[in-house]
């Protein structure tokens, strides 16, 4: 399917200057959102993540079990939204969190570089879902985007959308490699048009992860896509989101550029490992290393 030709149907991408102005405004507004209620919402939006070469069935199971115990240990707080792991560990997570509302997220499709055969990506997505993944995070092919092969990049997402039918599909743009607002904006629109349920900033595997600048561009693209199609697409910040203040800033960006309707785990996520402890500590007013 042709996607690139339809980009002209949307409002143009913001300029760097426009993005900088919005980021400055939103950083100032975020100070008012550094409070317990916002931290609680952000905790409920966390995809508790482990994506290490040191992961094992034992370590992943222990993390997932600990997350499941949160319902008992903190019954008045909302738990994390999901546990995010590599595909071979999906079944381990499923066994550990069985009976809880938590979802299982699997990275797939040649994560983190998206540099393998499309058939391999398709099989990996299908196997992750077969093993119990509720959500799949794939990576938009950055090389194709940088070389201007927009239709090829979008068509890969379309194919993987078909493989992930019934699951939530999050498409990682790897914004730190795209650099310009125009490329990030176009990548967002292409991913959404090809079937993404969420657009996500980063894999966390390159130097530059999530930034407020990239988040602003992505949320403007989500708003524009919603204006044109009526379809609400979620936003996920990931890669270097470590503090409660960081989380509050991304909360503010979503609230101000999209609306409070996006501030639910169905449309707002933060991918992180240490952030859950930081948010819990901020909520409880003392240092807690729970997860």
State both tokens at 260. 């409070």
Secondary element (H or E) of residue 172? strand 168-172
- Is 197 catalytic? The answer is no
Place of tokens 């490992």: 273
Of 137, 197, 246, 255, catalytic: 137
Other CB atoms within 10 A of residue 285 CB: 8
Of 121, 236, 246, 255, catalytic: 236
Cα distances from 27 to residues 30, 216, 239, 240, 256, in angstroms, run 5, 11, 19, 17, 11
- For the chain, report the end-to-end CA distance as a whole number of angstroms: 44
Distance between CA atoms of residues 60 and 64, nearest Å: 6
**Secondary structure in 3-state letters for 97-120:** HCCCCCEEEEECCCCCCCCCCHHH
The answer for residues whose C-beta is within 8 angstroms of residue 27's C-beta and 6 or more apart is 212, 249
What is the DSSP annotation of 219-258? HHHHHHHHHHH----EEEEESS--SHHHHHHHHHHHHHHT
State both tokens at 29. 């507004």
State both tokens at 80. 């994390």
- Is 200 catalytic? The answer is yes
State both tokens at 161. 């959308």
- Is 236 catalytic? The answer is yes
Of 197, 200, 246, 255, catalytic: 200
Torsions phi, psi for 234 (to 5 deg): -80, 165
Residues marked as catalytic: 137, 200, 236
């Amino acid at each position: 399917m042709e996607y690139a030709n339809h980009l002209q149907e949307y409002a143009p991408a913001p300029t760097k200057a426009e993005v900088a102005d919005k980021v400055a405004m939103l950083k100032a507004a975020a100070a008012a959102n550094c409070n317990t209620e916002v931290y609680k919402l952000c905790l409920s939006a966390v995809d508790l993540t482990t994506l290490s070469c040191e992961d094992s069935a034992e370590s992943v199971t222990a993390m997932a079990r600990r997350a499941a115990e949160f319902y008992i240990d903190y019954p008045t707080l909302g738990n994390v939204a999901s546990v995010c792991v590599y595909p071979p560990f999906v079944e381990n997570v499923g066994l550990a969190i069985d009976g809880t509302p938590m979802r299982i997220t699997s990275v797939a499709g040649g994560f983190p570089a998206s540099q393998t055969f499309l058939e391999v990506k398709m099989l990996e997505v299908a196997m992750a879902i077969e093993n119990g993944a509720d959500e799949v995070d794939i990576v938009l092919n950055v090389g194709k985007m940088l070389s201007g092969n927009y239709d090829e990049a979008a068509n890969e997402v379309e194919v993987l959308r078909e493989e992930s039918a019934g699951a939530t599909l999050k498409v990682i743009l790897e914004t730190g490699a795209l650099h310009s607002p125009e490329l990030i904006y176009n990548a967002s629109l292409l991913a959404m048009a090809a079937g993404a349920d969420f657009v996500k900033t980063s894999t966390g595997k390159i130097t530059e992860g999530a930034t407020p600048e990239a988040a602003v561009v992505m949320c403007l693209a989500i708003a524009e896509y919603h204006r044109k199609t009526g379809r609400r697409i979620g936003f996920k910040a990931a890669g270097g989101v470590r503090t409660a203040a960081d989380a509050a800033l991304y909360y503010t960006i979503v609230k101000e550029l999209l609306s409070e309707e996006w501030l639910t785990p169905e449309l707002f996520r933060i991918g992180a490992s240490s952030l859950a402890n930081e948010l819990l500590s901020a909520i409880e007013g003392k240092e807690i290393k729970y997860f």
